[in-house]
Chain A
Amino acid sequence: MIHENISSQKKPDSPFSLNIGERRKHVLGTLQVPEDTRITKSNSYNVCVHYEEDEISCILPSVEFFEFSNKDDWVATWIDIPFDSFQDNYSEAIKKVNDTTKFAKNWDSYGAERISVMTASRAINFLYESLRALNNCGITLPKPFTAPCPDGSIQFEWEKENKELEVVIPHNIGDKISFLQIEGDDYKEGIIDHPSELVEYFL
């Protein structure tokens, strides 16, 4: 609804950290501002904020009024309505992703790796970007089932009519997001370069 108070055109690299008051915060991903601001034409919101190294306190800063500031006086303040929609659709998934980051190593009793905050951030960004792409195409998906994987990755699963899609967000930042599409007896595996490609699988 309102985007304002972008006081600098400086865009931080990913990931970066900043300080607000006495609490140290980290912002994962590239922080960009909406196209109706004066600063940039980007409309990405790849932002994840957490207050401590191992705990995410807030993944979606635009649900409420937030302000960021670092030593370079970089400030961004906004309220973003699409995130509300995102929260409604995926709040369960977001909560589960957050919860998985609290699992200790060996959480599955077979030696599973921890789910890192970085992987969680990437997973939630994927959800947001895919939801936006689906909304643009008028496609509605049921809420995903969310599963942590023993190798430290996170899997989302959708079922719609006779189609199913499993998407794995890998723990290694250098690895690509992969998918398995199931339609009847047909199984198709592949790589997802951008979350918007999710649209193809449910058209």
Chain B
Amino acid sequence: MIKSSAEKVKIVDILDEDELYRRIHPSWQKNNGKISSGAFITKPHPVSIDIAKLTTPIKTLSNFPDHWLVSLITKIVRSIGLDACHNPRPENYAHGLIKGKINKTKARRLAESASLVIKK
């Protein structure tokens, strides 16, 4: 019997304390070390992230030498009316999504809550 991909890949629960990684393109990097909320204006698509407990900062940044890496705390993401889920891809088991409608205010709050993990 052929199993569906959903059956083959284990989906992990995202806990409030889980960290979520997102790469930050150079054009979103401000001189003061903050990042632009533009990084989270992805509509109509959800925001892609990596689940920190399933990867490493180096792995998430591999192939992207100019990017910064920031982390978001799931509890904060949920506190602004969004959610995070595990969405593994063949090339990246740690891949996840921030779900929910992200308006300007929410994009800004995500940017404000992001902590710098790696700054190039």
Interface residues of A (CB under 8 A from B): 96, 100, 107-112, 145-151, 153, 155, 157, 166, 168, 178-180, 182, 187, 189
Whether A100 and B27, one on each chain, are in contact in the complex, defined by CB atoms closer than 8 angstroms, is yes
Whether B104 and A107, one on each chain, are in contact in the complex, defined by CB atoms closer than 8 angstroms, is no
Q: A147-B27, A147-B38, A166-B104 are in contact. List 9 more A-B contacts (CB 8 A).
A: A100-B27, A107-B25, A112-B42, A147-B36, A149-B41, A149-B42, A153-B41, A155-B36, A168-B104
Interface residues of B (CB under 8 A from A): 23, 25, 27-28, 30, 36-39, 41-45, 47-48, 63-64, 67, 103-105, 108
CA distance A189 to B41 in the complex (A): 14
Whether A150 and B42, one on each chain, are in contact in the complex, defined by CB atoms closer than 8 angstroms, is yes
CA distance A107 to B27 in the complex (A): 10
Nearest A residue to B43 via CB reads: A151
Top 7 A-B pairs, shortest CB-CB distance? A147-B38, A149-B41, A147-B36, A180-B104, A155-B38, A150-B42, A149-B38
Whether B41 and A155, one on each chain, are in contact in the complex, defined by CB atoms closer than 8 angstroms, is yes
Whether A178 and B104, one on each chain, are in contact in the complex, defined by CB atoms closer than 8 angstroms, is yes
In the assembled complex, which residues on chain A have CB atoms less than 8 Å from the CB atom of B48? 110-111
Whether A150 and B41, one on each chain, are in contact in the complex, defined by CB atoms closer than 8 angstroms, is yes
In the assembled complex, which residues on chain B have CB atoms less than 8 Å from the CB atom of A110? 23, 42, 47-48
In the assembled complex, which residues on chain A have CB atoms less than 8 Å from the CB atom of B42? 110, 112, 149-151
In the assembled complex, which residues on chain B have CB atoms less than 8 Å from the CB atom of A150? 38-39, 41-42, 45
Which of A109, A148, A179 lies in contact with B23, CB distance below 8 A?
A: A109
CA distance A110 to B42 in the complex (A): 9
Whether B25 and A180, one on each chain, are in contact in the complex, defined by CB atoms closer than 8 angstroms, is no
In the assembled complex, which residues on chain B have CB atoms less than 8 Å from the CB atom of A153? 41
**Shortest CB distance B62–A (Å):** 11
**Shortest CB distance B33–A (Å):** 13
**Shortest CB distance B118–A (Å):** 14
Which of B25, B30, B103 lies in contact with A189, CB distance below 8 A?
A: B103
Whether B28 and A147, one on each chain, are in contact in the complex, defined by CB atoms closer than 8 angstroms, is yes
CA distance A179 to B105 in the complex (A): 10
In the assembled complex, which residues on chain A have CB atoms less than 8 Å from the CB atom of B30? 145
Q: Which of B23, B25, B27, B36 has the most CB of A within 10 A?
A: B27
Whether B25 and A155, one on each chain, are in contact in the complex, defined by CB atoms closer than 8 angstroms, is no
In the assembled complex, which residues on chain A have CB atoms less than 8 Å from the CB atom of B27? 96, 100, 146-148
